[in-house]
Structure 1
Amino acid sequence: MKRIFLLAFLSCLSLVAFTQNLGNKFISGSLHYSSIETDMSNGSSQAFYPETTTFTFSPKVGFFVKPQWALGVGVSYGYKNEFSNQLYYYNSNSPTTTEKITHSFSLAPFTRYYLPMGTKVAFFGQATASYTTGSIKYRTTDASPAETDLNGLHVYVTPGLVFFPSSKVGIECTFGEIGYQNTKSESVHAPKSTYTTKGFTSKLGLEGLSLGVSLYIGRASTEE
């Protein structure tokens, strides 16, 4: 009896899963910019004025090799400038300035499997392997400039859901990730120093909630 019920359930699930034509490819991406300035004066001996500017651009494209299975690649560029001007009142003519500039580039091939539920909604799971390279440059009035090279690998799985308000547009929601990362930073100038960070990460649920919009090209209209 249990075997008959399981076969019936799988048959119904397969019928639901094939009620959508997701098209032949999809395109998505994200663009982020922020600039934050803070006044951190203690009112007596010193004032601290940090400024942080962040910019990221991350386009992504996927191609359907089967009705529910897509392969694709994402690229990303990131820039972050952290500047601070620390002023001591007893020596107001010689403020201490510090600047940290980070550039990063990422290449992230991925595979995604969809489980459509009706004609407007589909669950999906995505596996991604992201390789990142970049550099960090340090400048300060109290020391010589320094530079660090960055290299990292991040492999992770992401659960998500896509809702189609129209035939071509999908509003995507992901719920965090489970993965492994290994990051290595190495100073460029002497004395040489190397730091490695590695381990498993798990961030599922509302804390890792992310929203985005994708364009599904070739997806059949569901308004017929």
Structure 2
Amino acid sequence: MKKLLLSLVAVAAFAFSTQAQTEKGKVMLGGNVGFSTSKVDGANKSDFNFRAIPSVGYFVSDNIAIGTGVGYSYDKAVSKGNLNQAFEVAPFGRYYVGLSDQFKFFGQLSVPMAFGNNKAVDADGNTGDKTASTTSIGAYVSPGFAFFPTKRVGIEVSVNGLGYNNYQVKNELTGNKVKTNSFGLDANTADINLGVQFHF
């Protein structure tokens, strides 16, 4: 009987610890880090892309978090003769729905913004003068699932979902602006995002 009682207490404590992950007052830390490199036939140097956007969120009430990501992106495309560097800010709101003690569905609304510039790049990868200023502002709704194997770790799987983006390029010499607006649904299961959030 004593062993059974201790087992029930342990299970109850474990269930409470997983449910407490998304309670009011909790903080989650995560982010996005990635890089890639590719070599185009005929190019002297490889293209290189790097992006780092750490994020922090705060649960303003049970299962509802708001937060932001702040970071930097660097995309040097020698094959296209262009380098784009940008400062990025990505405020978000997230809502969790409990499916079980350890699994939760979530929906996230994010408004990513990037402010940067383009520079010329020669065939040897040398960076030249600034050619344009760039601004990107979007809005995305993304669904996903979170699995909580421990009290402080959430493993997440999500897809891009529904999104809108306004991208503007202002030519440095002429002052002319070119704007591109895009809207669409990108719920491709072949393009799944995997991430980890730490909860405190």
Same fold (TM over 0.5): yes
Q: Structure 1 residue 48: deviation in Å?
A: 4.0
Q: Is the 8 A contact 1:139 1:146 kept in 2?
A: no
| 2:107 counterpart letter in structure 1 | G
Judging by fraction of residues, say which structure has more strand: 1
Partner of 1:209: 192
Structure 2 distance, partners of 1:133, 1:155, is 15
Q: Structure 1 residue 83: deviation in Å?
A: 2.0
Partner of 2:27: 25
1:57-100 deviation per Cα after TM superposition (whole angstroms, max 9, x unaligned): 0111110011111111111210011224xxxxxxxxxxxxx742
Specify whether residues 34 and 106 from structure 1 end up closer, same or farther in structure 2 by C-alpha distance, changes over 3 A only.
same
Structure 2 distance, partners of 1:113, 1:208, is 22
Partner of 1:157: 141
Q: Is the 8 A contact 1:62 1:71 kept in 2?
A: yes
| Residue 194 of structure 1 pairs with residue 181 of structure 2 | no
Specify whether residues 68 and 36 from structure 1 end up closer, same or farther in structure 2 by C-alpha distance, changes over 3 A only.
same
Partner of 2:154: 170
Q: Structure 1 residue 132: deviation in Å?
A: 1.2
1:22-60 deviation per Cα after TM superposition (whole angstroms, max 9, x unaligned): 25010001221223334x2xxxxxx44451011110111
Partner of 1:114: 96
Ranges in structure 2 where 5+ consecutive residues have no aligned partner? 1-17
Structure 2 distance, partners of 1:136, 1:28, is 29
Specify whether residues 163 and 197 from structure 1 end up closer, same or farther in structure 2 by C-alpha distance, changes over 3 A only.
same
Structure 1 distance, partners of 2:168, 2:53, is 22
What is the aligned length? 176
State TM-score, norm by structure 1: 0.72
Q: Which runs of 4+ in 1 moved over 3 A?
A: 47-50
**Higher Cα Rg, which structure:** 1
| 1:152 counterpart letter in structure 2 | S
Q: Structure 1 residue 125: deviation in Å?
A: 0.3
Q: Structure 1 residue 195: deviation in Å?
A: 0.8
Q: Structure 1 residue 175: deviation in Å?
A: 1.6
State TM-score, norm by structure 2: 0.80
Q: Is the 8 A contact 1:77 1:104 kept in 2?
A: yes
| 2:64 counterpart letter in structure 1 | W
Partner of 2:75: 80
Q: Structure 1 residue 172: deviation in Å?
A: 0.5
